[in-house]
Chains A and B, each alone.
Chain A
Amino acid sequence: MTEPIIGIDLGTTYSCVACYDTKTQKVEVIESPSGRTMPSWVSFTPEGKLVGMAAKSQVASNPLNTVYDVKRIIGRSFNDPVTAEEAKSFPFRVVEGSAHGEPKIIVDWRGETKELRPEEISAMVLAELKLAAERHLGQPVKSAVITVPAHFNNQQRQATKDAGRIAGLDVKRIINEPTAAALSYGLHAKKENEANGTTQGKTNVVIFDLGGGTFDVSVLAMDSGVFEVKATGGDTHLGGEDFDNAIMDWCMEHIKTKDASVYKQVKESARAQSRLRRAVENCKRVLSSSMSAEIEVDSLVGNFDFVVTLDRSKFEELNANLFKRCIDTVKEVMSDAACKIEDVSDIVLVGGSTRIPCLQTALYDMFNGRIELCKSVHPDEAVAHGAAVQGHILATGGSGGGRDLAGAEAMTDLLLLDVTPLSLGIELEGKQMSTLIKRNTPIPCKKTRTYTTVDDWQTEIDVVVYEGERAHVDANNKLGSFVISGVQRARAGEPKVDVTFALDANGILNVSARDQVTNAEARAQIKAEKGRLTAEDIDKMIADAEQYRAKDDELNEKIDYKSALEEALFTVQSKVSETNKPNEVKELADLMDWLELDSESASLEEMKKRGRVIEDTWGFIVA
């Protein structure tokens, strides 16, 4: 049997895992204890850590140690303006790491102050999803395909891969989220066509992926099982949370005009902020189906109850510029793909924020109302589903392992031709960018170009690698640099140095330079300028994660058991109030007191002892 390769959608706000199930011969989304999608949240407590819904639901009581949205800063340096901007709005602390200038998140964990890198937080989310997959499949999982926004740069992809490794996963492939969604959509469309007896013709599909934190647009051509990405683009910093922020600001203005002192208190209280944010997020969701919704938080601070009504048109007005940015991006990507409005046969909506009616209307209008928006794929699950499809292709590719599936989902027929989202090149004298690999080039891809020296008798050259679309390197993103020495000693312009860029299927770059005459050579895998993890760093983090795993499992079990205990007691309570036996009333009161006052620091064993009392006294099984 082939080893399973699971597919993981590691989202800014929510994550999701899927895998190919050999029993049902289908790709299935796996339910974790948090549900089919899991908040990408991790919370640290004196006893251990909580991941997913458990972390998110207790944020108000532990705002400083509850970490979320790390995808917004993963693979960025601390000095990156985006990191600084994010750090301002996070309730948890982000500091500059001492060694390489990477961002580090400070939390209190098990009574100690710990500094964690964004990769480690993401690894905790990944480990949780891996565990869910293992439970579902009944076998260990070692490999995964992880998705990233199409617009993620080299460092961000590297960092995501590292997070996978820390979680104990061999990351077989990093694929773009819209591409994954397209695979999921394509498979669906293929099956539909087969059912109707029609053959799938050539189609151009626009994938519009607006999630919690990022926005991607891709144009794909699908032709009998070959998925060719024509162009991709987007915004690594645009999503549902930005809509929330706009509403938050509006609420804060509202509070300010009502009561300045309350405004100040809310501003300073992480707890009040996070409570308000949850109400705002709910309101936004409701506005996708109703024309108006209430934002209501009782005792936001002190005795101040916050209630306000937001109607849909006001919501649209608050976010009008963000919506416009989305539509403009679609136009740009269409033009990159040399694809005309009338060439498009389908628009696929992915990501929770595509539920916003105003955006749907804008897209519908953009295509002159000619095509219905495709909602046949699940907006929250399509990316993970597609990643698992790619995982299955990689696990069986060409081996004929998929042939037996012909009746179910013949996935081994599928081939994905993905592209690189940003141009890659080197710096020439005068800060000029010389592009070797153009954006939207299919990957894997290798390119060589010949360069020379600018000074007489120069024997060393700096190889400085950049990604980006601008002619001036300062406007692009520097990926790294190395030096080639031993260049032929000659007049300026004489030596010939071949520079080769090799981009692998994950979008990760290797650069080498070789002098044609002296054969002097230098090479480097391009890593983030600052804050890249070394192999030793990763090994240490893997060891740390292992060490705490057992304790975390116990904590999770304890929390599950505690809620079971609570539930049992409430059921028992109604029973006891009927029979009203004095000894039982007392027993129950004792248990209730214990649960309320002492259970926080109790061990699982102590809780189970109480559970057995309930079982013995009332014959009620606690589980």
Chain B
Amino acid sequence: NNGKTKFGQKTDEDVSRFLTDFRTADGTVVDPYKILQVSRSATVIEIKQSYRRLSRKLHPDMVAQMEILPGRCTNLDDVRNEWEKVKFSYEILSDTQMRKSYDRNSSVAEVLNDPGAAVGRAVVGGAMSGLGL
């Protein structure tokens, strides 16, 4: 059955597709500005510095032998997930194209999340919870 049972490309039909590129492995959409603790107008240098500062705090190697883990992490897997969010946010914001696309699509998603647009809300709900909106 080789060649017959391979995967097909999947395009999301609902509006959450706008944010597909900004989902972490567990499916939540990140807000890279919030995670990197920078403003929407942050410069490339500010973003880099924040990434490195947070990496020092959250990289699994830096906490491996620590007795008290940073933030709300209870185990090393949590730490790894937290750091991956930081890294992913940095990937988004350090790439000019990705950053533009995030800025545009996150505002589209916000508009669609308007209380009047009930249908929009139902499908976007999952994505929005990740944005903390």
A interface, CB within 8 angstroms of B = 2, 223-226, 228, 393-399, 401, 415-417, 426-430, 434, 441-442, 444-448, 450-455, 458, 460-464, 492-493, 496-500, 502, 505
Which residues of chain B in 53-86 are interfacial with respect to chain A, using CB atoms and an 8 Å cutoff? 55-56, 59-67, 80-81, 83-84
Q: Decide if B61 touches A393 in the complex (CB within 8 Å).
A: yes
Residue of A nearest to B52 (CB): A226
Smallest CB separation, B28 vs chain A (Å): 11
Q: Decide if A452 touches B60 in the complex (CB within 8 Å).
A: no
B interface residues, tally (CB under 8 Å)? 36
Q: Decide if B56 touches A451 in the complex (CB within 8 Å).
A: no
Q: Decide if A505 touches B65 in the complex (CB within 8 Å).
A: no
Complex Cα spacing A446 to B55, Å: 16
Complex Cα spacing A173 to B66, Å: 18
Complex Cα spacing A446 to B78, Å: 13
Interface 1/0 per residue, B1-38 and A, CB below 8 Å: 11111111110100000000001111100000000000
Cβ–Cβ < 8 Å partners of A446 in chain B: 24-25, 81, 84
Q: Decide if B60 touches A428 in the complex (CB within 8 Å).
A: no
Of A225, A393, A434, A505, the residue contacting B7 (CB under 8 A) is A434
Residue of A nearest to B87 (CB): A442
Q: Decide if A462 touches B6 in the complex (CB within 8 Å).
A: yes
Q: Decide if B84 touches A417 in the complex (CB within 8 Å).
A: no
The A-B contact count (CB < 8 A) is: 113
Residue of B nearest to A498 (CB): B27
Cβ–Cβ < 8 Å partners of A464 in chain B: 6
Q: Decide if A398 touches B62 in the complex (CB within 8 Å).
A: yes
Q: Decide if B25 touches A397 in the complex (CB within 8 Å).
A: no
Which residues of chain B in 95-119 are interfacial with respect to chain A, using CB atoms and an 8 Å cutoff? none
User: Knowing A223-B52, A442-B87 touch, does A397 contact B63 (C-beta < 8 A)?
Assistant: yes
Residue of A nearest to B2 (CB): A462
Q: Decide if A458 touches B5 in the complex (CB within 8 Å).
A: yes
Smallest CB separation, A456 vs chain B (Å): 12
Cβ–Cβ < 8 Å partners of A463 in chain B: 7
List 27 A–B pairs whose Cβ atoms lie within 8 Å, in order of A's numbering: A2-B65, A224-B52, A393-B61, A394-B64, A397-B62, A398-B63, A399-B65, A399-B66, A415-B55, A415-B61, A415-B62, A417-B55, A426-B7, A446-B81, A448-B24, A451-B8, A452-B8, A453-B7, A454-B4, A454-B7, A461-B5, A462-B2, A464-B6, A493-B10, A496-B10, A497-B7, A505-B61
Residue of B nearest to A438 (CB): B91
Residue of A nearest to B68 (CB): A398
Complex Cα spacing A427 to B2, Å: 11
Residue of A nearest to B10 (CB): A452
Task: Give the most central of B9, B12, B49: most A CB within 10 Å.
Answer: B9
Complex Cα spacing A172 to B62, Å: 14
Main secondary structure of the interface of A (DSSP, over half): strand
Complex Cα spacing A417 to B62, Å: 11
Smallest CB separation, B53 vs chain A (Å): 9
Q: Beyond A417-B59, A445-B87: 4 further Cβ-contacts under 8 Å?
A: A396-B65, A398-B66, A399-B66, A444-B80
Smallest CB separation, B22 vs chain A (Å): 12
Smallest CB separation, B73 vs chain A (Å): 12
Complex Cα spacing A396 to B2, Å: 49
Cβ–Cβ < 8 Å partners of A228 in chain B: 52
Q: Decide if B63 touches A451 in the complex (CB within 8 Å).
A: no
Cβ–Cβ < 8 Å partners of B91 in chain A: 441
Residue of B nearest to A497 (CB): B7
User: Knowing A446-B25, A446-B84, A448-B27 touch, does A226 contact B65 (C-beta < 8 A)?
Assistant: no
Cβ–Cβ < 8 Å partners of B87 in chain A: 442, 445
Smallest CB separation, A319 vs chain B (Å): 39
Smallest CB separation, B87 vs chain A (Å): 5
Complex Cα spacing A114 to B4, Å: 43
Smallest CB separation, B66 vs chain A (Å): 4
Which residues of chain B in 34-53 are interfacial with respect to chain A, using CB atoms and an 8 Å cutoff? 48-49, 52
Cβ–Cβ < 8 Å partners of B81 in chain A: 446
Cβ–Cβ < 8 Å partners of A401 in chain B: 65
Cβ–Cβ < 8 Å partners of B62 in chain A: 397-398, 415
Residue of B nearest to A450 (CB): B10
Complex Cα spacing A226 to B8, Å: 40
Cβ–Cβ < 8 Å partners of B60 in chain A: 444, 505
When A and B form their complex, which 4 residue pairs have the shortest distance between CB atoms, in order from nearest?
A399-B65, A398-B66, A446-B25, A452-B10
User: Knowing A226-B55, A446-B84 touch, does A500 contact B64 (C-beta < 8 A)?
Assistant: no
Smallest CB separation, A487 vs chain B (Å): 10
Smallest CB separation, B24 vs chain A (Å): 8
Cβ–Cβ < 8 Å partners of B23 in chain A: 448
Smallest CB separation, B25 vs chain A (Å): 4
Residue of B nearest to A458 (CB): B5
Q: Decide if A492 touches B8 in the complex (CB within 8 Å).
A: yes
Cβ–Cβ < 8 Å partners of A399 in chain B: 65-67
User: Knowing A398-B63, A445-B87 touch, does A454 contact B8 (C-beta < 8 A)?
Assistant: yes
Task: Give the most central of B1, B6, B60, B80: most A CB within 10 Å.
Answer: B6
Cβ–Cβ < 8 Å partners of B49 in chain A: 223
Residue of B nearest to A418 (CB): B61
Cβ–Cβ < 8 Å partners of B83 in chain A: 444
User: Knowing A415-B62, A416-B61 touch, does A500 contact B25 (C-beta < 8 A)?
Assistant: yes
Residue of A nearest to B61 (CB): A397
Of A442, A444, A452, A455, the residue contacting B5 (CB under 8 A) is A455
Complex Cα spacing A72 to B84, Å: 34
Residue of B nearest to A401 (CB): B65
Q: Decide if B6 touches A454 in the complex (CB within 8 Å).
A: yes
Complex Cα spacing A441 to B9, Å: 23
Smallest CB separation, B80 vs chain A (Å): 6
Complex Cα spacing A412 to B72, Å: 23
